[in-house]
Amino acid sequence: ARSRGARGGAGAETQVGNDLGSPEPLRWLLRSPFDRNVPVQLELQELLLDHVFQRLGVSSQGCVDHPVVLTEAVCNPLYSRQMMSELLFECYQVPKVSYGVDSLYSFYHNRRQNWPCSGLVISSGYQCTHILPVLEGRLDAKHCKRINLGGCQAAVYLQRLLQLKYPGHFAAVTLSRMEEILHEHSYIAQDYTEELQKWRCPEYYENNVHKMQLPFSNKLLGSTVASEEKQEKRQQQLRRLQELNARRREEKLQLDQERLDRLLYVQELLEDGQMDQFHKALVELNMDSAEELQSYINKLSLSVEQTKQKILQSEVNIEVDVVDSKPETPDLDPLGSEQSLEDVESINEFEPLFAEEQPEVEKPVAAVQPVFNLAEYHQLFLGTERIRAPEIVFQPSLIGEDQAGIAETMQYVLERYSKEQQAILVQNVFLTGGNTMYPGLKARIQKELLEMRPFQSSFQVHLASSPVLDAWYGARDWAVEYTNREEGWITRKDYEEKGGEYLKEHCASNVYVPIRLPKQAPRTAEAAAPSRASGTGNPSEQA
């Protein structure tokens, strides 16, 4: 994955392999040099090789001064091998390189003393499955067959099944979890139809269903919060609202007191006989007479006394007093009317909070019972999905693929040989690759062979000791044995003379088929041919 980098910071950051951590958040950024199992993006392959050589501790400056053993796909296209050789020899300056097939390396690593050199290798990996006949220690490339199905397609199919079954957990059903289910919970049924009939029985379902717990949080629903915590939280909210209400009452009392002092000052002007200033003040207050002034003074004095009583009462009483939304006195000061309306509107905003948060002291708070078990809601029940996903390598039609399964392809490959060669091949049917680690796969292959082989004929099926790592172990054994030999190694001289697509064959390699360009006819002969054709009188021959 290559991130874009922060603004103003360094360039794009490249992460390879285990440095990625969880691939799910970065899945849309993931890049691979492979198309199926064939490398086609060599600039990405160069990043992978840089990472590999750095982690291996290659200390040589400007080059990789080590022979390289590299696996490639069965019947690898010459163009892909040419680009890979060019990358290794031109960019990394390797002294020599050898190419081999991973499943053949695994085959020779597991070969025992009494094993024959011939056999039928069934290799199933992440992207595809191969049926490889090996005769007298060499791969018969003419009769190799490939099925474009592997662990990746099984994981995608399982993801689609579970997303349709659990639409509420659509985002949680990720490819990483599907691969985990395939590795830990799936198996191959010996008879797929018969196994499905077993799953229809409720008792069989209860005894064999697997449950996978998805991550969840108790904070999603408030029903799981303890009642004591709810009560404490409610009390804290009430205390905060009490303080807020008391502070607003004090502010309102101070504002009303200032208005009352101003009106009393105007009344003192009337008592002192300063009539000009008195009438001028009445005009400013928008009042007509002294009686109207006295009426406002009496009402405002009553409002101030009531507010003082409420403040004293709230200090003693525990319960919260809700301030009435209606104004207790009419506006006396036209200059301050806007501010008083804002105070009333702000108190109205808190009125529903007081009504909702007022505790019920008399009624004991009962424990809230959850509507359903949250943990069980986030469980995946794996029933027939355990056998349906891995079954696609035997029945590709389950996912709409117009291909033959392993059994049909294996029978097709065996029919290309004589009966004597068939008997030799089936004596050593070898299973390798990460997609062959399902429980029951070996028994299923034995059952398929029993159905297709003649009556009372013998065959043997073997499973690799480590289907995932035996390819590396086999390449290691070959490299140790052939380090000082010329067999199988392509040197820089061979690369410069014969091209990047050149391959030196060995016991675990592909078969080298050089490019043969057709010879072009001379131009004189090409020019003479139409003239001869035009001279003939038969129109059919001219056509």
> 101: Cβ–Cβ under 8 A, 6 or more apart, which residues?
71, 72, 73, 74, 132, 139, 508, 509, 510
**Res. 56: pLDDT tops 70:** yes
Q: In angstroms, rounded to a whole number, what is the distance separating the alpha carbons of residues 214 and 380?
A: 7
Of 273-287, 417-431, 467-481, 512-526, the range with the lowest mean pLDDT is 512-526
Task: Name which of 34, 45, 43 is nearest 126 in CA terms.
Answer: 34
> 526: Cβ–Cβ under 8 A, 6 or more apart, which residues?
none
Q: What is the pLDDT of residue 13?
A: 80
Q: What is the pLDDT of residue 154?
A: 97
Position 95 confidence tier, pLDDT thresholds 50, 70, 90: very high
Mean pLDDT of all residues in the chain?
Answer: 83
**Res. 324: pLDDT tops 60:** no
Of 268 and 164, the structure prediction assigns the larger pLDDT to 164
Tokens encoding 79: 């163009």
Just give the CATH number of 151-218+374-400. Answer: 3.90.640.10
Q: What is the pLDDT of residue 521?
A: 63
Q: What is the pLDDT of residue 21?
A: 80
Q: What is the pLDDT of residue 164?
A: 96
Q: What is the pLDDT of residue 410?
A: 97
**Res. 542: pLDDT tops 50:** no
Q: What is the pLDDT of residue 114?
A: 67
Q: In angstroms, rounded to a whole number, what is the distance separating the alpha carbons of residues 499 and 74?
A: 20
For the segment 144-149, the average pLDDT, to the nearest whole number, is 96
Q: What is the pLDDT of residue 359?
A: 47
Position 361 confidence tier, pLDDT thresholds 50, 70, 90: very low
Tokens encoding 136: 């007298």
Q: What is the pLDDT of residue 255?
A: 87
Q: Write down the domain spans for the chain.
A: 151-218+374-400, 230-316
**Res. 73: pLDDT tops 60:** yes
For the segment 87-91, the average pLDDT, to the nearest whole number, is 94
Residue with tokens 């391959």: 503
Q: Are 471 and 102 in contact (CB under 8 A)?
A: yes
Q: What is the pLDDT of residue 328?
A: 42
Q: In angstroms, rounded to a whole number, what is the distance separating the alpha carbons of residues 252 and 245?
A: 11
Encode pLDDT of 213-263 as tens digits.
998 877 644 444 556 778 888 888 888 888 888 888 888 888 888 888 888
Q: What is the pLDDT of residue 5?
A: 61
Q: What is the pLDDT of residue 537?
A: 47
> 248: Cβ–Cβ under 8 A, 6 or more apart, which residues?
323, 343, 346, 347
Buried b (16+ CB within 10 A) or exposed e, 340-378: beeeeeebeeeeebbeeeeeeeeeeeeeeeeeeeeeeeb
Q: What is the pLDDT of residue 243?
A: 85
Q: What is the pLDDT of residue 23?
A: 82
Whole-model pTM: value is 0.68
For the segment 477-487, the average pLDDT, to the nearest whole number, is 92
For the segment 30-54, the average pLDDT, to the nearest whole number, is 91
**Strand 38-39 to 34-35 pairing:** antiparallel
Position 355 confidence tier, pLDDT thresholds 50, 70, 90: very low
Position 10 confidence tier, pLDDT thresholds 50, 70, 90: low
Position 353 confidence tier, pLDDT thresholds 50, 70, 90: very low
Q: What is the pLDDT of residue 11?
A: 63
Q: What is the pLDDT of residue 329?
A: 41
For the segment 51-55, the average pLDDT, to the nearest whole number, is 91
Position 302 confidence tier, pLDDT thresholds 50, 70, 90: confident
Burial of 124 (0-12, 13-18, 19+ CB in 10 A): buried
Position 6 confidence tier, pLDDT thresholds 50, 70, 90: low
Q: What is the pLDDT of residue 360?
A: 46
Of 272 and 95, the structure prediction assigns the larger pLDDT to 95
Of 148-152, 204-208, 340-344, the range with the lowest mean pLDDT is 340-344
For the segment 3-22, the average pLDDT, to the nearest whole number, is 72
For the segment 480-489, the average pLDDT, to the nearest whole number, is 92
Write the single-letter amino acid at 49. Answer: L
For the segment 288-293, the average pLDDT, to the nearest whole number, is 80
**Res. 347: pLDDT tops 70:** no
Q: What is the pLDDT of residue 226?
A: 59
What is the percentage of the chain residues whose pLDDT exceeds 70? 81
